[in-house]
A = this chain, B = another copy of it.
Amino acid sequence: MSSRSGADLALLLLGSYRNLVDEVVRELATRGYPDARPSHEYAIRAIRVGADSASDLARRLAITKQAAAKTIAALVERGYVTTETDPADIRRKNIRITDHGIGLITESTAIFDEVRARWEVRLGAAELAELETQLAQFVGDSPINLDAPGWAAGQELR
């Protein structure tokens, strides 16, 4: 009975995302990270897997370097990362994740997985896995990298 409309589908997707993320943020707050925003988590994850400068982070998250710089400033302010100018290239400012930052993504990952596990209980493991595979199809043909939240879809390189 596929009586649903395309507009409903959009709302379902957005709603699911918000429910999931809100839950994570709420839980993070109770575990000692009250000032953590979703964008912070995504940024730190990107840094962890290799984005070691503002420009680099910008490319990975598919945002402007100015936006990346702002995010990094916020991360520094909250003590999640530190920056220090690269001795080999004065221009660069290398980003390093602090223990506090490691703690954040560790907790965050755990909570994300906990929530996912709850969903798995309701849906069944096979069903959730299939749902993910299906969603991946819609995202997969996207021209931009997957591990980024802020893609501006249909934009050229910056």
A residues with a Cβ closer than 8 A to B are 1-2, 4-22, 24, 26, 41, 45, 108-109, 111-117, 119-120, 122-123, 125, 127-129, 131-132, 134-139, 142, 146-147, 149, 151, 153-154
Contact B112 A137 (CB under 8 A): no
A138 to B151 alpha-carbon distance, docked (Å):
25
Task: Pull 25 A–B residue pairs with CB atoms less than 8 Å apart, ordered by A.
Answer: A4-B132, A5-B116, A6-B20, A6-B24, A6-B111, A6-B117, A7-B109, A9-B20, A9-B112, A9-B119, A9-B132, A10-B17, A10-B20, A11-B146, A11-B149, A12-B132, A12-B139, A13-B135, A14-B17, A15-B142, A15-B146, A16-B138, A17-B17, A19-B138, A22-B154
Which residue of B21, B108, B131 is within 8 Å of A131 (Cβ)?
A: B131
In this complex, what residue of B is CB-closest to A127? B134
A122 to B140 alpha-carbon distance, docked (Å):
13
Tally of this chain's copies: 2
Which residue of B2, B9, B131, B151 is within 8 Å of A125 (Cβ)?
A: B2
Contact B136 A12 (CB under 8 A): yes
A151 to B21 alpha-carbon distance, docked (Å):
13
